[in-house]
Amino acid sequence: MHKRTLVKPDGRRLLLYGREPLADDLGAPSPSTAPHTPNPHLRWHPLRGEWVAYAGYRQHRTFLPPPEYNPLAPSRSTEHPTEVPDGRWDVAVFENLFPTLSLRAHDAPPLTVPTAPARGVCEVVVFTPDAAATLGRLPLAHVALIVDVWADRYEELGRRPEIAYVYPFENRGVEVGVTLHHPHGQIYAYPFVPPVAARELEQQRFHYEQHGRGLLEEMIAHEIADAARVVYQGPHVVAFTPVCARYSYEVWVAPVHPAPSFAALTADARRDFARAMKTVLLKYDGLWGQPFPYILAFHQAPTDGAAHPEAHLHAEFYPAYRMRGRLKYLAGSEIGAGVFTADSLPEETVKELQAVVVDVDA
């Protein structure tokens, strides 16, 4: 992996990654040149016991690109520079222009609940310079590079004392609110362990202390033994619809043996992780012969300085549709009570995914 760190005219960081050596003359363009001084803040929600992030400037973005302007495409116009340079690179990472979290956040309003500057990092991960590609259709070696980038970001961001949790994710499709179609993901680096991860880690820690073995490791062993819901099984990594799936076509991807993060995976395991991801992604797009929208979340060990023997890296895909043409709405039961109501059985929807034949090496 080749990597270069640059700084944009407005002070934001740009990182370029390549499988081959990067071009010498890569610039660091930016659609904005004024110094980047975001000041998001956090407010404590006493009833839920969690932080809420406020970034009011996201609502009133003054940045109005001309139609067909793609800020994630290689910059080829001096009049409308984009976020990434023209030239030879494979993956680009830059700080979000409208971040929910920023290390530059400097103060928070005094209120009747605790508040704090929303210190953290929001990065955009441009998966490829090719606006017409998709994560699943990229060559396997390119997907493997993206896995390496996630590992690099985990290490670099996690090393910062302000950062307690590094969270890569991808929102894909207008159905989940995406407006930029250029293939990209995001990374949020939080100053606290976020609630969903905290809850999972609490369950995992309890199980680890009771049984001396990882909870997810045990779930995976059961899924492999059962085999009914397995979508991919490689030498290191497995993809499956969990027996307790909340979404139709939900899939998890994880190493069979516990690894706390992408950074802890061997080169072979990373390549296998990439193969598992590509398999799932191609099956998703093949299912109905159309791009399959989802939220993709990666859960890793916190970077809060504590030991986390209970942690086990995994990806969770949450599909937007519960069946062809029918969106799954999270409504009263899911949002107001936290109880997921599944209209289909995991054993049924996974059969459809298993039946989709894909060629990962094509």
335 near a copy of itself, rule: CB under 8 A: yes
> Looking at 76, 333, 351, 355, which residue binds a copy of itself (CB under 8 A)?
333
Question: Is 85 or 170 the residue whose CB approaches a copy of itself more closely?
Answer: 170
Binding of residue 51 to a copy of itself (CB under 8 A): yes
- In the bound complex, what is the minimum distance in angstroms from residue 268's beta carbon to a copy of itself? 26
Non-local (6+) Cβ contacts of 270 within 8 A are 144, 147, 148, 151, 262
184 labelled catalytic: yes
Give which of 197, 136, 148 is closest to 172, Cα–Cα: 136
**Secondary structure class of 94 (helix, strand, coil):** strand
The single-letter code of the amino acid at 87 is G
Phi then psi for residue 65, to 5 deg, are -70, 150
User: Which one of 88-96, 126-134, 203-211, 268-276 is the stretch in contact with a copy of itself (CB under 8 A)?
Assistant: 203-211
Least distance to a copy of itself, CB of residue 353, Å: 16
Binds a copy of itself (CB under 8 A): choice among 123, 148, 200, 217: 200
Q: Does 182 bind a copy of itself (CB under 8 A)?
A: no
Check 36, 41, 182, 184 and give the catalytic one. 184
- What minimum distance in Å lies between the beta carbon of 220 and a copy of itself? 11
324 binds a copy of itself (CB under 8 A): no
Residue from 159, 211, 222, 351 in contact with a copy of itself (CB under 8 A): 222
Residue closest to 53 by CA, chosen among 111, 142, 119, 113:
119
Q: Please check whether residue 27 is in contact with residue 75, taking contact to mean a CB–CB distance below 8 angstroms.
A: yes
Q: Which of 3, 19, 58, 137 binds a copy of itself (CB under 8 A)?
A: 58
Shortest reach from residue 267's CB to a copy of itself, in Å = 27
Q: Which of residues 120-139 bind a copy of itself (CB under 8 A)?
A: none
**CB-based contact 109:115 (threshold 8 Å):** yes
What would the x/- binding string for a copy of itself be over residues 270 to 309, using CB under 8 A? -------------------------xxx------------
Is 16 or 163 the residue whose CB approaches a copy of itself more closely? 163
Q: Report the C-alpha gap between 143 and 120 in whole angstroms.
A: 26
Residue 92 contacts a copy of itself per CB under 8 A: no
Give every CB contact of residue 181 below 8 A, 6+ residues apart in sequence. Answer: 131
Q: What angle do CA 270, 276, 280 make, to 5 degrees?
A: 145
Task: Count residues binding a copy of itself (CB under 8 A).
Answer: 77
Longest Cα–Cα distance in the chain = 62
Rank residues 113 and 267 by Cβ distance to a copy of itself and give the closer one.
113
Counting every residue written for the chain, the total comes to 362
CA distance 296 to 273: 14
Active site residues: 184
